[in-house]
Amino acid sequence: MSPLFLSLAPLRGLTNALYRNLYSVHFQGIDTAISPFINTLSAKQISRSHIKDILPENNHGMPVVPQIIGNDPAGFIQLATTFHDLGFDTVNWNLGCPAPMVAKKQRGSGLLPYPGLIKAFLDDVIPRIPIRLSIKTRIGREKKEEIFNLLPIFNQYPIVELIIHPRTGVQMFSGEVDLATFEECLPLLKIPVTYNGDIFDYDSFINLKERFKTISRWLIGRGVLSNPFLPGILRSGEENIPQPVERFKNFHDDLFEAYRAELSGQSHLVDKMKSYWLYFFRSFENGETFFKKIKKANTLQKYMEIVGKFLGWDAIWRP
C-alpha cells in the first residue's frame, strides 16, 4: 500500500501562517500545506508584506508550498523565482478559484475554458522557473468536460503534482463532488494526482481510498478546519480522541491570542474568530445552537463570554 500523504488545503483568510504554526503546535498528521493564493504583481519589486504569509521566518512547524494565482507569465516567473530564492522547492499554480471577480479576469477557474492560454502560459513559464511546478485545478469553469481538453496539455510538462477538486468553478462549493469525472481523469494522466474535496470524516475518506486505490496524496481543507484531529484520525483509524474539548480549547485560545496581538480593533478580531467558527462549530453536538449565538456577538466582551462558557462547560465533542 502506498503511504498516506496529507496536505492542508489553502483557505484564504484561514489557513495562513498564524493558523498553520499553531496547528503544528497542537495537532499532528499534516505533511505539507499549500498556502492561500498570492497574486502575481506587475511591480518590479516584490515587497515583503506581499509574501509575508510564506516567508520562512513566519513559518514554523509544517512545510509550505506557496500558491500563485494569475495568468501573466512574467509576474508568475518573478514570484516563483523569489520563492526559489527563499528556499522553496515547489510552487503551486491556482487554476481553481471560483470567485466570479477572479474568474472573469481569466484567472483561477476562469482559465479552464481556454486550453490554448494555459498551454501558452506553461510554454512560457516552465523553461524559465528554477522551481518545480504543481497545479491545483477544478474540472472546469462551466462544464466538467473542460478538464478533458486540459489533461493532454498537462501531460506534456514536468508538472510534479496535479491536485484535482472535482467540481466546476460555477458550482462554487455546492452540490456533490463529481467522483466519476475524477475517476475518468486518472488513466489519462501521467502526472501524480492528489485528490481534493469533501473529506470530512474517517468514513468518507475510507470510501474514497477504496475507490481510488492508486491515489496516495490527499488535500483537505474544510474537514481539517472543522475537526483539527482529522489528519491524525485518518492515519490511525482511531476516532476516539482523549479530552477533545480541552485540547481544542487550548488551540482556540492560542489562535485568539495570536490574532489579538496581530489585528487592530476589536471588531476585526471578533469577525476573524467568527470566520473560524463557521467551521469549528461542526465538530460539536450542540454546535449549531452555539453558532447562532456567536454570530450575534458584536463586542469582544460578548465573544469571550459566550465562547468561554461554551468551551469551558457546555461543549460536547461530536464523536
Ligand X SMILES: Cc1cc2nc3c(=O)[nH]c(=O)nc-3n(C[C@H](O)[C@H](O)[C@H](O)COP(=O)(O)O)c2cc1C
Question: Which residues are near ligand X by CB under 6 A?
Answer: 9-12, 14, 36-37, 67, 94, 96-97, 136, 165, 173, 196-199, 220-223
Residue 222 CB, nearest approach to ligand X (Å): 3
Q: Over the range 224-236, which residues count as b (16 or more CB within 10 Å of their CB) and which as e?
A: bbbbbbbbbbbee
Task: Give the containing element (helix H, strand E) for 106.
Answer: none
Q: Which residues contact 83 (CB under 8 A, 6 or more apart)?
A: 51, 54, 66, 91, 131
Smaller CB distance to ligand X: residue 225 or 269? Answer: 225
Residue 102 CB, nearest approach to ligand X (Å): 10
Smaller CB distance to ligand X: residue 67 or 227? Answer: 67
Residue 282 CB, nearest approach to ligand X (Å): 12
Smaller CB distance to ligand X: residue 11 or 74? Answer: 11
Give the C-alpha separation, 290 to 223, whole Å.
Answer: 19
Residue 30 CB, nearest approach to ligand X (Å): 13
Which residue's beta carbon is nearest to the bound ligand X? 221
Smaller CB distance to ligand X: residue 136 or 252? Answer: 136
Smaller CB distance to ligand X: residue 203 or 313? Answer: 203
DSSP, collapsed to helix, strand or coil, labels residue 217 as strand
Smaller CB distance to ligand X: residue 40 or 245? Answer: 40
Give the C-alpha separation, 7 to 34, whole Å.
Answer: 7
Sort residue 313 into left (φ over 0), alpha (ψ -120 to 50) or beta: alpha
Residue 308 CB, nearest approach to ligand X (Å): 26
Give the C-alpha separation, 192 to 155, whole Å.
Answer: 10
Smaller CB distance to ligand X: residue 77 or 199? Answer: 199
Residue 32's closest CA among 74, 76, 66, 73? 66
Residue 278 CB, nearest approach to ligand X (Å): 9
SS3 content of the chain, % helix, strand, coil (to 5): 45, 15, 35
What is the SS3 assignment for 227-240? CCCHHHHHHHCCCC
Residue 92 CB, nearest approach to ligand X (Å): 7
DSSP, collapsed to helix, strand or coil, labels residue 183 as helix
The one-letter amino acid at 63: P
